[in-house]
Amino acid sequence: MTPGCVYLVGAGPGDPGLITVKGLTLLRGADVVIYDRLVSRELLDEVAPDAIRINAGKVAGCHAIDQNQINTLLVQHARRGRAVVRLKCGDPFVFGRGGEEAEMLAAAGIPFEVVPGVSAATAAPARAAIPLTHRRLSSSFAVVTGHECAKGRPGIDWSRLATAVDTLVILMAARTLPRIARELIAHGRPSDTPVAVTRLHAMGAVTITTTLGAVSRGIDLAPPVAVVVGEVVRLRESLGLERASAVHAVT
């Protein structure tokens, strides 16, 4: 039997309107959809009624199915000649383990295609009216994962990253942000550096503005959040986002 194809599709950052046209077309024509926990319910409504749906949701400490099982399912269904959509939050290749899945598919000889999605790394700041780059304030930015700070041997060298770029975007940092803030301050970021924490959801976004020093003393956050650290955060006020979202200042 000729194998089907696996499509690693980015669902976007929560708003169902931010999936690409190609991603939506593939979703509607899929025989099998293996989807992440935070994928919009509205997108799942686009799946054909007779398609197989598999929840591959993950939350800290609890996985519906583990990564090895996901890999096995992708291969098994493709080898049965099915069109498989692996629907991933944000962009498949930005902290979504899409690279690992692509490696596995290539090794198994399964045809696959990557369909990019809008990452929360860019969508969250945009929704909060924070440009990651700005002619006067920021000519560079980096995107990092907050999960690394929870590990005994983190893979991020904060001593180098703290001042290496103008703007930092930190994803998956709801639990580790105070520790990350302390690392950044210890390695040269001023404690009065502005910080924005944005929680994206299907209906929009809620943003908290604060400072690195305040965050280092602790902050209560519910995931998923995207964090921006840098002078560009100050542009929120001049761009007048208050009319479009709930804004709270934390000092």
pLDDT 10s digits, 202-228: 666 789 899 999 999 988 888 889 999
Instruction: Please identify which of the residues 36, 91, 104, 166 carries the catalytic annotation.
Output: 36
Number of structural domains the chain divides into: 2
Q: Any catalytic annotation for residue 66?
A: no
Tell whether 200 is covered by a domain: yes
Say whether both 126 and 242 belong to one domain. yes
To the query of whether residue 36 is one of the catalytic residues in this protein, the response is yes
Domain that holds residue 63: 6-115
Structure tokens given for 217: 């003393």
For residues 145 and 95, the answer to whether their CB atoms sit within 8 Å is yes
User: Is the predicted pLDDT of residue 243 greater than 50, yes or no?
Assistant: no
pTM of the model: 0.87
Q: What share of the chain is helix, strand, coil (3-state, %, to 5)?
A: 35, 25, 40
Distances (CA, A) of 123 to 61, 85, 90, 99, 243: 26, 23, 9, 21, 18
**Among 86, 115, 144, where does a domain finish?**
115
Nearest CA among 196, 9, 6 for reference residue 96: 9
**Digit-coded pLDDT (tens) for 54-94:** 999 765 555 578 999 999 999 999 999 999 999 999 999 99
Q: Considering 15, 91, 104, 172, which one is annotated as catalytic?
A: 172
Q: Are residues 83 and 184 in the same domain?
A: no
